[in-house]
Amino acid sequence: MKTLMTSSIIALSALAGAAQADVNACLITKTDTNPFFVKMKEGATAAAEANGINLSTFAGKIDGDVESQITAVETCIASGAKGILITPTDSRTLTPVITQAREAGALVIALDTPFEPASVADATFATDNFKAGVLIGEWAAAKLGEDAASAKIALLDLNPSEISVDYLRNNGFLQGFGIDIKDPTDIGDEDDPRIVGNDVTNGNEEGGRTAMENLMQIDPEINVVYTINEPAAAGAYEALKSVGRENDVLIVSVDGGCPGVQNISDGVIGATSMQFPLLMASLGIDAIKSWAETGAKPQNTEGLDFYNTGVELITDEPVDDIPSLSSAEGMGKCWG
């Protein structure tokens, strides 16, 4: 009897261990080179290890590589993943395969970039990207003061797909700057004469430099530059520097990576809206664990269709009525 009881305990322990080991999850990012996604992967990996979850990671070759993300989701479905964390590179095209994943029993959580509509995924952990844009737009308008009325603005966006994170930040910036936006889900339909033009960067430094060069050919007197992220901002700065205009143009961005915060300190970027990829990743892993154990899904922030992971304005040139942190304070909260 004692032998049987001991054997049963061992068997139950083995089953419990197997059950824990069977919690497989996936993280699918847009690229594995952008510091934002590198840090997100680090955060997800650490959280998965702490929670006993087997995490597989995938990434597109470049921002906009939707085919690689579709293949990754299909691989996760085939492996029986209990949860999928994804930063969708195309928040519309991925809908069919995400629906398949949910029908197969996986909890799907969007990180950073909401699907369209957000209900395509079970949950979204993200920055309020529109607010992130508003903050840097308000800051730029306040810095220029009366000269904001005659500003010449370049808008350096992500890619031609115009996914949610792209139009939310772009249009948030415009609204914050005081420019009326038309279709809030479209980029480039405004007719305000202060807008010199839009170009795409693929979210990297090379793209930012090329886009800035293109827009300077339209108007060499651009004095405000909005960028989708800090790598694009760094590229824009290099383009401006090459023609001796790096000191008379305001550059604003979104990210909050340590290199970007350092660029605030160095005067490369005037202000940036800091987001928190480590928090997004760790919350995502926690949600998968809870789903596996209890079947409970995460809840949205009240009044929003996503869970808001927060945003902070970082600048060394604060303006009245817009709360901000200095670059020194930002270095204590940055990532990358």
- 199 forms beta bridges with 156
Is the pLDDT assigned to residue 238 strictly greater than 70? yes
Does residue 184 sit within a domain? yes
% of the chain with per-residue pLDDT over 90 = 91
Residue-wise pLDDT for 31-43, tens only, equals 998 889 999 999 9
Is the pLDDT assigned to residue 18 strictly greater than 70? no
Does residue 336 sit within a domain? no
pLDDT at 6: 37
Q: Average pLDDT in the 249-271 region?
A: 97
Residue-wise pLDDT for 63-89, tens only, equals 889 999 999 999 999 999 999 999 999
Read off the CATH number of the domain in which 122 is found.
3.40.50.2300
Does residue 96 sit within a domain? yes
Q: Can you give the residue range of the structural domain that contains 100?
A: 2-126+277-308
What is 45-102 written as a DSSP string? HHHHHHHT-EEEEEE-SSTT-HHHHHHHHHHHHHTT-SEEEE--SSTTTTHHHHHHHH
- Global pTM value: 0.88
Is the pLDDT assigned to residue 304 strictly greater than 50? yes
pLDDT at 11: 36
Q: Are residues 221 and 288 in the same domain?
A: no
- Going by pLDDT thresholds of 50, 70 and 90, the confidence category of residue 12 is very low
Q: Are residues 176 and 269 in the same domain?
A: yes
